[in-house]
Structure formats: structure tokens, C-alpha cells
Amino acid sequence: MRQSTASLLLIAGLLLSAIPGQSQTASSSSWAVTAQSRYQITPNVTYQIQNGYENKVDIYSRKDASGPQPTLFYIHGGGWTGGTKEAAFMSVVPWLEMGWSVVNVEYRLAKISHAPAAVEDCLCALRDVVRHASEHHLDPSRIVVSGDSAGGHLALMTAFTPESAGLDRECPPNDPKVGLPKVAAVVNWYGITDVVDLLDGPNRKAYAVTWLGSAPNREEIAKRVSPLTYVRPGLPPVLSIQGDADPTVPYSHSLRLQDALKKAGVDTELITIPGGKHGNFKPEERIRIYDGIRAFLERHGLPSHVQ
């Protein structure tokens, strides 16, 4: 794993200082100082090179850690055609406030490689993070994968895809000491669950068509990269979040996932935002969502706050 290490703690501290609720007595400035002393930022760590493109992650690790720390593995959205890990930073800030370590992931977009490249990349990124977890005090047994929109889809695929699917064949071999990486839970923000549904018909979306390209077997590929394809007993618990008036990803995708997971006996929850669109939720709605996320973590033996 090649690393480019830089000190971005001041930037993170200034951003984190905008988060309320750390404690009633702590001022914004004291929280910023705490963040600066708590986190080591290792940006642009190359985890894979494909098609001449270097895929990278940013790692926000606890430098005050005495042992492996619970870790968020976050994947940005953008319809598989846009978005960056840097632009997704504010989505991981609440997890930094909770004291978690964070891995912020990038992957090949459609302009570089069509499906299933983005799925392959995220699987390889998780494998690489687990392989090097001890270097950053990350706990491989307490990794929560999350993402928004296409990132939510990729988070689900990262957690659901079995080795038999063959989507991790371009990754380095599994570390025999660790085995096949597993995740502790999924927090899915309005992710796509059935890619085939978006290629034609009333739910057709241009971003999905662009990601699949014009391959003659595009429906076969779309099914291969759909989380619903891999629902089965034994999957990690899943919390989904979506507005019921989402114009970008059909709300039915969350409902169908919820139903399929329940039938498979997988622990699953859905937070519905009445009238909510594609993200951009109101502050009070986000407070409700993060209250739900923290309760979800606690129910599954994961900390909602790390000292």
C-alpha cells in the first residue's frame, strides 16, 4: 500500500468545530483542538491500479488509540458517473464526532470503466484496508460500510457480494491470517438495489444507462451488480435511509430490499423521511436519522461513541 502522508488536521478541526453536541460545556474551539490532537489523516493512499488509474482512499485514524478502533468505510455517490471522496467529507464528520476511524473511498467512474468496475474496486479497497488495518489501528471485526445513492449501492454490494460472484478476482489474494473480509453492518443512504430496474421502463435513469454502457449483455451485468441478487441468510444487519418522494432512486428499492432481507432472516431497519427527496434532508430530519444510526449501532454491539 503506497501512502502519501500529509497533515490536514487543521482543516478537519475547523470543519469539525461546526458540529454541535459534543458536550454542553465544550466550546467549538475546544472540540476543534480535541479533533486535531485525536486524528491522524493519511490522504490518497493507493489501494489499486486498474486501467492506468490509481484508486485511492483517505484514512482518518485515531492517533491516540491504544488498540484497534471501530471504522467507517464510506463510499461516495454520484450515479457511478461523478462525485469524489473529497466532496463526501461532510458525510463522515458525524462519525468522527462519535470517535470512529474513517476510510473514505474512491473508485473508477463510468468515464474510466463501465460496470462492474466500481463494485470490483470497492471490494478490493475493503480487502486492502483489512490487510493494512494494524498500521492505522483499524479493527477489521468492526467495520461499518456506508454510502449515499450509488455509494449506498456500492456499500450494499461490498457487504453482500459472495466470493462465488467472482467480482474480487482482480484483487490481491486474501490474507490467510484474515480470510475473506466481512463487515459488521451496513448503513445505506438511498442506495440502488436493483440496477436492472433502472435500464428501461418507467424507472429508467440516464446514470444507470451510462454506467452499464452498450454491452449486449448489459442486463446480465446489471443483475450481477444488484444487491437484491445476493440477499441470503447470514448477511450483516442493514439500516437503510430514504425519502419516500426520492426522484433519483425509486423509494421502492428500499422497500424491496427491506422485504427481501426480512424474508431471509437478516436484521434490517428502514428510516423513511416522509416527503423526503434524494438527500438534502432538513436539520431536524438528520438529527432523527443519526439518532437512529446510533441506536442501530448499539443494538448490534457497536459503539455510538468512542472515547
Using one digit for the tens of pLDDT, what is the confidence trace for 139-157?
999 999 999 999 999 999 9
CATH number at residue 216: 3.40.50.1820
Query: Is residue 231 domain-resident?
Result: yes
CB 267 within 8 A of CB 233: no
Half-sphere exposure for 245 (CA within 13 Å, toward CB): 7
CA–CA separation, 33 and 37 (whole Å): 6
Nearest to 69 by CA among 28, 92, 38: 38
The answer to pTM > 0.95 is no
Asked whether residue 57 is assigned to any structural domain, the reply reads yes
Confidence of residue 195 (pLDDT cuts 50, 70, 90): very high
User: Position 244: which residue type?
Assistant: D
- pLDDT one-digit tens code per residue, 260-302: 999 999 999 999 999 999 999 999 999 999 999 999 999 999 9
Q: Domain range for residue 65?
A: 40-299
Q: What is the pLDDT of residue 4?
A: 40
Confirm whether 3 is domain-assigned. no
**Nearest-angstrom CA–CA distance, 74 and 32:** 22
Candidates 105, 109, 1, 130; CA nearest to 51 is 109
Name residue, grid cell 450483516: 236
pLDDT at 7 over 50: no
In a domain, 109, yes or no: yes
Q: What pLDDT, in 10s, does the model give residues 93-118?
A: 999 999 999 999 999 999 999 999 99
85 in a domain, yes or no?
yes
Which pLDDT band holds residue 30 (cuts at 50, 70, 90)? low
| pLDDT of residue 3 exceeding 90 | no
The number of folded domains in the chain is 1
Question: Among positive and negative, which fits the CA dihedral 298, 76, 182, 55?
Answer: negative
How far apart (Å, rounded) are the C-alpha atoms in residues 34 and 76? 26
Per the domain annotation, does 152 fall within a domain? Answer: yes
Beta carbons within 10 angstroms of residue 134's beta carbon:
11
Task: For the chain, count helices (H), then strands (E).
Answer: 9, 8
Residue 19 inside a domain? The answer is: no
Question: Is residue 11 in some structural domain?
Answer: no
- DSSP-derived pairing of the beta strands 101-105 and 69-75: parallel
